[in-house]
């Protein structure tokens, strides 16, 4: 049965992209970390691990807050006094000094629009790195725990060769809802590099995080192939319920289709430019593969006996929600998004060229994070 599942799945879905990154088991060379950037919507108790890591690495912790349970002031009052903390409230992304991106405009007002500020926060981290002259920064999600600061330092050392270094994510798997259901029903499903634990070199081959699910996979893309990428170390993701609401799978589906469709091409790449291959015909075939894949997972869910998994009903509802969204995705949507992303890469690089590297410190840098005429961001600085 297991072999049958994998034979069917491999025709429609690649459960692992690990071969696209260089696996590095260890490195004698370490590198400095200029800052740890944590986007968050949770209570600052979730920042304690990142704060301890920042102290051990002797670098600033930049926490980017939004929503009612998370604020810069609360973080400053809650975290230890020895943390170099720059806590910023991101109340309205339209106020931020970020370029107007074609990928955002393309989805605005459509059923594919992503209504989160995660990508904007990560782009603020990149912008702040430019302003402060930070060459090596770590993006860390607040539900990720790193084994030790030495692992992060070794990952930073690899940035002498690579543009991006991901850290292997253990603990609870880091996947989309559909891929969680695939694994839970017997499918062979791995995890790839993600923005939850990502060490990046900020001055080479500048890239950005588009406002779409799997924005971190887009950040890894280069003109013709992936940017130089390694994987090392180990981090642990805390458990969560991927099937808590069907809307989660529905909201992920457009970004999951785009990323998995592009990485399908990268998996089979033999020197060709992935963008040349990502034409209408590719997306027509891939959308059919995606439908067959989700329907196969759904059949496996429905074939399980009652009580075999406490999430059976929730898994079925999530897969049906993903299928519903998938039916509204046309090849032209995918072609148009890739074209918009290509334009945005140039737009982002041009924007960074207009951003100065300041020698006068955090105060002046913060002024550049917002557009002209906007009121200052709410910021709390401790030991910065």
pLDDT in tens, 277-311: 999 999 999 999 999 999 999 999 999 998 888 89
Instruction: Tell me the sheet residues that pair with 22.
Output: 230
The DSSP output letter for 165 is E
Give the C-alpha separation, 289 to 267, whole Å: 15
Are 44 and 79 spatial neighbours (Cβ–Cβ below 8 Å)?
Answer: yes
Task: Read off the pTM.
Answer: 0.95
CA atoms within 13 A on the CB side of 329: 31
Question: Domains along the chain?
Answer: 2-241+345-382 (3.90.550)
Give the C-alpha separation, 295 to 299, whole Å: 6
pLDDT attached to residue 268: 87
Are 37 and 62 spatial neighbours (Cβ–Cβ below 8 Å)?
Answer: yes
- For residue 366, the surrounding DSSP H or E stretch is helix 362-367
Are 153 and 51 spatial neighbours (Cβ–Cβ below 8 Å)?
Answer: no
Task: Identify the residue whose tokens are 């807050």.
Answer: 65
Measured CA to CA in angstroms, residue 306 lies from 245, 303, 309 at distances of 20, 9, 8
pLDDT attached to residue 6: 56
Name the burial class of residue 23, with classes exposed (0-12), middle (13-18) and buried (19+) by CB atoms within 10 angstroms of its CB.
Answer: exposed
CA dihedral sign, ordered 23, 27, 31, 36: positive
Q: Which of 26, 24, 51, 20 is nearest to 37 (CA)?
A: 51
CA dihedral sign, ordered 346, 91, 167, 170: negative
Digit-coded pLDDT (tens) for 66-104: 988 899 999 999 999 999 999 999 999 999 999 999 999
Are 365 and 377 spatial neighbours (Cβ–Cβ below 8 Å)?
Answer: no
pLDDT attached to residue 27: 65
Ranges of residues in the chain with a pLDDT under 70 are 1-10, 26-28, 270-271
Give the C-alpha separation, 215 to 104, whole Å: 12
pLDDT attached to residue 29: 86
Q: Which of 377, 347, 342 is nearest to 362 (CA)?
A: 377
Alpha carbon dihedral 327, 102, 195, 213, in 10-degree steps, equals: -20
Give the C-alpha separation, 360 to 365, whole Å: 8
Phi, psi at 265, each rounded to 5°: -65, -40
- For residue 230, the surrounding DSSP H or E stretch is strand 229-237
Q: Which of 151, 239, 262, 130 is nearest to 199 (CA)?
A: 151
pLDDT attached to residue 270: 67
What SS3 state is found at 354?
coil
Give the C-alpha separation, 214 to 112, whole Å: 13
Q: How many helices (H) and strands (E) would you count in the chain?
A: 14, 10
- DSSP secondary structure letters along 114-129: ---SHHHHHHHHHHHH
Give the C-alpha separation, 181 to 323, whole Å: 13
pLDDT attached to residue 306: 87
Give the C-alpha separation, 310 to 237, whole Å: 22
Give the C-alpha separation, 99 to 345, whole Å: 11
- DSSP secondary structure letters along 50-69: HHHHHHHHT--EEEEE-STT
Give the C-alpha separation, 90 to 28, whole Å: 38
Are 341 and 53 spatial neighbours (Cβ–Cβ below 8 Å)?
Answer: no
Give the C-alpha separation, 280 to 276, whole Å: 10
CA dihedral sign, ordered 62, 63, 66, 72: negative
């Amino acid at each position: 049965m297991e072999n049958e599942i994998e034979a069917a799945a491999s025709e429609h879905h690649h459960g692992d992209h690990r071969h696209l990154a260089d696996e590095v088991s260890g490195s004698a060379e370490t590198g400095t970390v200029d800052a740890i950037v944590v986007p968050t919507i949770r209570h600052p108790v979730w920042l304690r691990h990142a704060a301890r890591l920042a102290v051990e690495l002797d670098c600033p912790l930049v926490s980017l807050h939004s929503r009612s349970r998370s604020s810069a002031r609360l973080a400053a009052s809650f975290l230890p006094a020895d943390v170099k903390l720059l806590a910023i409230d991101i109340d309205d992304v339209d106020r931020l000094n970020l370029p107007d991106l074609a990928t955002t405009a393309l989805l605005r007002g459509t059923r594919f629009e992503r209504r989160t500020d995660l990508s904007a926060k990560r782009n603020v981290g990149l912008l702040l790195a430019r302003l402060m002259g930070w060459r090596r920064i770590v993006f860390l999600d607040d539900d990720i725990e790193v084994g030790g600061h030495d692992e992060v330092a070794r990952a930073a050392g690899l940035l002498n060769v690579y543009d991006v270094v991901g850290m292997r994510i253990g603990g609870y798997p880091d996947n989309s809802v559909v891929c969680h259901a695939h694994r839970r029903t017997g499918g062979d499903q791995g995890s790839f590099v993600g923005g939850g634990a990502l060490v990046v070199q900020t001055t080479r081959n500048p890239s950005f995080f588009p406002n779409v699910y799997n924005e971190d996979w887009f950040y890894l893309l280069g003109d013709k192939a992936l940017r130089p990428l390694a994987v090392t170390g180990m981090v642990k993701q805390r458990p969560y319920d991927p099937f808590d609401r069907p809307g989660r799978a529905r909201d992920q589906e457009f970004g999951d289709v785009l990323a998995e469709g592009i990485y399908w091409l990268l998996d089979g790449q033999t020197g060709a430019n992935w963008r040349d291959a990502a034409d209408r015909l590719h997306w027509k075939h891939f959308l059919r593969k995606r439908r067959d894949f989700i329907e196969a997972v759904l059949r496996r869910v429905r074939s399980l006996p009652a009580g075999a998994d406490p999430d059976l009903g929730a898994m079925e509802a999530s897969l049906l929600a993903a299928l519903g969204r998938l039916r509204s995705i046309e090849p032209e949507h995918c072609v148009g998004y890739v074209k918009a992303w290509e334009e945005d890469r140039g737009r982002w690089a041009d924007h960074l060229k207009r951003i100065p590297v300041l020698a006068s410190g955090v105060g002046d840098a913060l002024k550049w994070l917002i557009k002209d005429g906007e009121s200052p961001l709410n910021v709390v600085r401790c030991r910065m």
